[in-house]
């Protein structure tokens, strides 16, 4: 009898311990959730939920707004039609598409309207991607941010990798020299590049090329292979590709147009013939949805450690001074070849707005439309 009583006591004690551990684990888990959600560096967008929301859409159009917000949405639609604005837009809140729409053609020659998979030229967003890749290597211990650039890349100056991300290289390269860089990204194609300390005629910032050389050096493979391995496949990007003349135009490519009218109405009848892209400059094509997914996943530290988040945000402003960035809100403007993408992410309110156009809208500018759409949240 005494033995049985002792067994019962032991069982009850074990049950109590298990229950206590369960309560403690739950408390720590919920505490972690609260800590992350209230941290100024925390990112509220849940990219997995966002992917599901975007995957259910194949075309732009419709809204999940009600009451006064729906009335405002309809007013914006009437304004877009009346002023013949050409482009597409997505409004996302709490990981769900709240509204979207489009007007005009992604490719007027093929009568292809803007769709969710329409691939825009994303310009300097490519360099933002490159920054994320470098911070990925830093997180893995493959890149020391305090090392001098000449540890990895010769003839590129003398400054740390951190300074390159924070302030830029202060070096320039001529367009003529850039054309010498092999589109196949062969190491010997870099040998003849000379980096200038001063901006001279027909030269641009060398930052993008220097970062690509860094990526090439650390990865041991081509830049294009690295993009697929670290960005396109892991982040689940379905409408992202690196443009090359050999591949030609794809059916979902967004073409560029100069301003033209027919009977006084804006018309997409004069397409811009794009020159062959230069490695690291204007190569990347992405759908608006892929830009959103990649950006939110990068902010959610799916590529690099959280300790590099502040450096990453700082680097966005270095890429282009038009970008306004803080831990609370990021506003990006990407322009190239008459294509323009605007994106704003407000962390605390958990909302993201993105627009894309391929035509120089005059009657209703992209900036004005963006302000109108922002009011729908």
What pLDDT does 204 receive?
A: 92
Residue 376 scores a pLDDT above 90: yes
Residue at 72 is within a domain: yes
Distances (CA, A) of 237 to 8, 226, 365: 57, 14, 29
- Computed over every residue of the chain, the mean pLDDT equals 86
What pLDDT does 154 receive?
A: 85
What pLDDT does 82 receive?
A: 97
Confidence bin at 27 (pLDDT 50/70/90)? very low
Residue at 253 is within a domain: yes
- How far, in Å, CA of 135 to CA of 142, rounded? 10
What pLDDT does 13 receive?
A: 60
Q: Whole domain around residue 279: which residue ranges?
A: 47-124+133-144+235-374
Contact 175, 203 (CB under 8 A): yes
User: What's the whole-number mean pLDDT along residues 58-87?
Assistant: 93
pLDDT digits (tens, 9 = 90+) for 258-286: 999 999 999 999 999 987 777 778 889 99
Confidence bin at 43 (pLDDT 50/70/90)? very low
pLDDT digits (tens, 9 = 90+) for 122-159: 999 999 999 999 999 999 999 999 999 999 988 899 99
User: What's the whole-number mean pLDDT along residues 231-236?
Assistant: 95
Structure-block tokens of residue 138 = 């830093």
Which residue(s) pair with 128 in the sheet? none
User: What's the whole-number mean pLDDT along residues 282-307?
Assistant: 95
Number of domains in the chain: 1
What pLDDT does 51 receive?
A: 78
Residue 34 scores a pLDDT above 50: no
What pLDDT does 162 receive?
A: 98
Residue at 276 is within a domain: yes
Residue at 271 is within a domain: yes
pLDDT digits (tens, 9 = 90+) for 88-106: 999 999 989 999 999 999 9
Structure-block tokens of residue 189 = 């194609």
Residue 188 scores a pLDDT above 70: no
Residue at 37 is within a domain: no
Per residue, what are the HEC states of 43-93?
A: CCCCHHHHHHHHHCCCECCCECCCHHHHHHHHHHHHHHHHCCCCEEEEEEE
Residue 55 scores a pLDDT above 80: no
Element (H, E) at 261: strand 261-262
Lowest mean pLDDT across 45-49, 61-65, 82-86, 300-304: 45-49
Q: Using CA of residue 196, residue 202, residue 205, residue 211, what is the dihedral sign?
A: negative
**Nearest 10 degrees: Cα torsion 174, 176, 180, 183:** 90
Residue at 293 is within a domain: yes
Residue at 21 is within a domain: no
What percentage of the chain has pLDDT greater than the value 90?
67
Contact 134, 143 (CB under 8 A): yes
- How far, in Å, CA of 227 to CA of 221, rounded? 10
**Nearest 10 degrees: Cα torsion 322, 96, 69, 42:** -50
Residue at 207 is within a domain: no
Confidence bin at 87 (pLDDT 50/70/90)? very high
Residue 319: which of 307, 334, 329, 305 has the closest Cα? Answer: 334
Residue 274: CATH number of its domain: 3.40.710.10
């Amino acid at each position: 009898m005494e033995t049985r009583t002792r067994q019962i006591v032991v069982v009850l004690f074990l049950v109590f311990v298990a229950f206590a551990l369960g309560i403690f684990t739950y408390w720590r888990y919920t505490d972690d959730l609260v800590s992350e959600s209230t941290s100024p560096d925390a990112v509220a967008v849940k990219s997995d939920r966002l992917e599901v929301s975007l995957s259910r859409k194949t075309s732009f159009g419709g809204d999940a707004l009600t009451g006064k917000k729906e009335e405002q949405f309809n007013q914006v639609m009437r304004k877009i039609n009346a002023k013949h604005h050409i482009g597409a837009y997505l409004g996302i809140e709490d990981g769900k598409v709240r509204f979207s729409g489009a007007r005009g053609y992604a490719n007027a020659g093929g009568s292809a309207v803007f769709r969710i998979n329409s691939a825009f030229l994303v310009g300097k967003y490519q360099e933002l991607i490159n920054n994320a890749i470098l911070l990925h290597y830093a997180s893995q211990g493959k890149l020391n941010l305090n090392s001098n650039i000449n540890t990895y890349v010769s003839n590129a100056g003398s400054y740390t990798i951190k300074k390159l991300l924070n302030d830029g290289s202060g070096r320039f390269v001529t367009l003529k020299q850039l054309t010498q860089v092999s589109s196949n990204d062969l190491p010997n194609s870099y040998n003849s590049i000379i980096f200038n300390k001063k901006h001279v005629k027909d030269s641009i910032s060398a930052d993008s090329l220097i970062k690509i050389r860094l990526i090439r050096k650390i990865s041991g493979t081509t830049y294009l292979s690295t993009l697929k391995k670290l960005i396109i496949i892991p982040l689940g990007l379905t409408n992202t590709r690196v443009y090359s003349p050999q591949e030609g135009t794809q059916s979902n490519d967004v073409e560029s147009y100069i301003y033209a009218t027919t009977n006084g109405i804006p018309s997409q009848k004069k397409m811009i013939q794009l020159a062959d892209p230069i490695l690291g400059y204007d190569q990347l094509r992405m759908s608006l949805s892929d830009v959103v997914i990649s950006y939110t996943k990068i902010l959610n530290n799916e590529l690099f450690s959280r300790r590099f988040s502040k450096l990453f945000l700082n680097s966005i402003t270095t890429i282009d001074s038009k970008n306004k960035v803080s831990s609370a809100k990021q506003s990006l403007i990407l322009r190239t070849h008459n294509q323009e993408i605007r994106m704003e992410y407000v962390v605390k309110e958990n909302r993201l707005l993105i627009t894309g156009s391929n035509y120089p809208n005059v009657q209703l500018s992209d900036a004005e439309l963006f302000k109108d759409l922002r009011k729908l949240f």
